[in-house]
Structure 1
Amino acid sequence: MRWEFTQAATRALLKVQAALPNNAGLDWDSGLELLAALTEDPEGSGVAWLVSMGVDASIWAESGLPQLGSVDPTQLQRQSEEFSHGKDLMRLLPLSLTGILRSARHFASEQFSDPTINSEALLAAVFERSPKGQRWLLKCGFTLEKTAETLSGSSLAMDEPLDLHQGEIPPGWIRLVDAVGNRLREGLRVLEDFSRFVKEDRWLVERLKRMRHQVDTLLVQIPGTSRLLDGRDVLGDSGAGLWTGSERPRKEERDLQRSNWKRVQEAIRSLEEHAKLAAPTLVRQLESLRYEAYTLEKRSSETSASTLSQTALMLLVSNQCLLGLERTVREAVRGGVDIVQLREKNLPDADLLDLAKKTRQWTRDEGALFILNDRPDLAVLSEADGVHLGTTDLTPSEARRIVGADRLIGASSHNARDREAATLAGADYLGAGPVFPSKTKAFQDFASLNYIRSFADWQGPPWFAIGGINLETIDQVREAGAVRIAISHAICQSEDPQGMARALRLALGIGPKK
């Protein structure tokens, strides 16, 4: 489905896009920036709608909205006209706006029978999806009662649910929502605690917290949820006390994770199916939540993280190595290369598979991981440890259906949007770059050292700086924050691959490979 926007909504989104930092990913709350853009627009209908909802316009200037900076109004108007007449705005916007835009489109469809996103839809979505935005609106006098009257047909999440059917909800439904909701929240809490204290995976912890918040937001929209405690009957529950073999004590950490992820996914599915009867407007949101749980379960598997935790040096090779492919691979691994990635673009499939099998054998002999570029099917046939995907190849989630759960999937990233998209699609590691011009691959644009610096607070999967890195440039990459690098020309065209690999490890600040 194509995304459509009014010109006022487009102007606001373009101002936000210009104001947000390059590393504003999915976790970035863009609600205040969007509110600032909407309330600054004299031609949009958002201001009038806020006033009708009880917001006092006189206190906006003192309410803490960010200053977005000046934007040339003529250029802004021209751009908004271009985007509203077919140019794809979504390709330009940061990932931090994704949730708000999805809610806005749903709101517009429900309220106006038209999925075109306008100012009112954006404001409603900010209230639903942005904690910072919701606090600002309430602070400014946003009237929940009047909003409930206006939005009674939408899925907008209120602090107080629109419980319009209290007299019609049977006790069985109330008990179901209570039991399934508790099971869902408990499973998420177990996974969050495990990720926080055992795995120490901050990236996953943040997403599990966000998922718990989404669950709470959805549950309060289900009719009858204001009377959950009234319907609770533990002693009279016909299913209480029943145990199965799968509920026995866990023997391994992965058993703990697997059982709780299944608990979470099954609970969401149960709510999703029952919502078709009592809260049909929530079905799509519950379905989206369930698929996010599938993705996060994959991300939480410890296999890939533990495999990559001790790696620092990746070598990208082809048949054009100065000393030949086999000698280069073997000597480079002996010098400290941890991962060898075969990148051949022009070979017929049969020849590529034959070369991949040989490389697999050489790396296995020498004790390194082997990754095949671009081809998940041949990665399986050659028994590679994984596959690396470019930004225009299959997504990691699509490739996962081919390579299975146990193989690594790497993904190239040139900016924060690529990084977040690949991570959410299940990538086990990222390539970050190109940092400098490369002698082995041509690029029109360069991510530069600024992109490497943007990983300073990154808590996602491991990443390798790539592109033009050698002994002359490695200090700059290291100073920018890189602890893992991917190398090609510096080793492949060296007369001493082993010595060059050893020198690069030392320059990276790590000792010889154990």
Structure 2
Amino acid sequence: MSVVEITPAVARALSLASAFARANPCYSREKSLLLALLDEREGSASQLMVEAGLDIHAFWQLNEPSIPSVQTGFRAAEPSLELLPQNTLSEWSDLLRQARQLAREWGTYGEITSRHLVGCLLLNTYQTTGNQSEVYNLITHHGLNLGHLSNLLNPEPTRVLSMDEPLFAENLPKPADPVARLLDACANRAREGLRVVEDHTRFCRNSLTLTRWLKELRHGLRDALDLLPRDLIRTGLATRDVPGDVGTTFSTVNEMSRTSASGVSIANLKRVQESLRSLEEYSKLFSAEAAARFETLRYSSYGVEKLLANPGNRTARLAQSRLYMLVTASKCALGLEKTVCGALDGGVDIIQSREKNYPDREWLADLARLRRWTEDAGALLVVNDRADMALASGADGVHVGQDDMPVSTCRSLLGSSGLVGVSTHSRLQMEQAISLGADMIGVGPVFPSGTKSFDEFPGLDLVREAVKEQDFPWFALGGIHSGNLPLVCQAGATRVAVSGAILVSEYPATVARELRRQLDACHSSGG
């Protein structure tokens, strides 16, 4: 909320209310704002409440001794609109947002005035808490009538026919512009659809990135609608006609059938995109700026769809993955964030978090960050050994060794959409892992590793054996770096897992980019 959207009277009231609240911790925010509004006794807020029955003189006789401005001179320097501190606006952002919404409901746009603040402060507080509200008791004790105040704040104009005026059709209200009805319907569909998708990403996916993105889309939709002429929203609301809507009289067979929570989410996102397109096109009749905003929101929704569809298509993403990185936070030369984000920028497709001596709470905190970074990059996140940590963090899967949790147990914890990887060190172990339902396997170790100890090294011979599983996702691993990667590719590998090659580098993006270049060249040449 920028300062240009509020009047100087609102700026003064907010500044004074903040001062009241700081000086008197026992004051609620609502009480501080009420006192600040009434402190300007010739202002519109005071005049409105006086007209609604408030005995302002009796009010101040009772309350003035406790006002800090009288005692400490808070009003000595009234803030100008341009110099109002940003932290003051932030402190009252919720109230200002409510005031803006109230302005829309009343059909008044532009600046937020003290009239809107009074409406939010008194009417909304009363509706929420009834006669338990401190503000309600404070004000009505001195004669204010809320019903009268409500009429003063938002009067409903009516047209009365004279007794001698004929009641012909032209005297009746004219049907509203059907475009207003259309825009209202599209706005409702978009709002509802975004909420359905956001609920899915929040409660089913546990995705901070997607939930935040969708919340921004919802707020962006509200801001775009605010750019339309102020009469359109009211007209559209007034002409809603569900019984008379021809579109409600029929439905398709598939419309009432969904096979998964992800399917529900995707279907609703498609509705959002269609609604945004209609809003964009028909808004061109009224506001080029609004149309441009709707277009931007529609394009942004395509990015949400890409990330949203990925979990239901993890196998396809895995099939496209070439470069896999195992990460241990303590071994990252630049720290976890710079190393991982650099590697992702360089082309890493899968991140595996491998922490052996790490408290679970700290590991979960790191996994939350890794989940956010991988989602932003469109990469997969896998947890080493611990299916429970993968489930708790919303990771895409788990990777286990030969002596760790069985594939079947991992699958029961993660569900059918979770990925399960298995480390294999022989041809027999590869065949067993695949037959037990693993989604991917690690093949190696190919070379001695600086990050993990092995008793034996099946080496490139095992890589040549793995080539026989050409239709199954497998990654050569163990001591691989850009210097020996050509040998691994010559043996037939098109996917590799690395660790120290990137972790110890001060240029993780550069190293990852070079590894990816070699892998892509190997893949395009057929190995």
TM-score normalized by structure 2? 0.38
**Higher Rg of the two aligned structures:** 2
Higher helix share: 2
Larger relative contact order (Cα-Cα within 8 Å, sequence gap ≥ 6): 1
TM-score (norm 1): 0.39
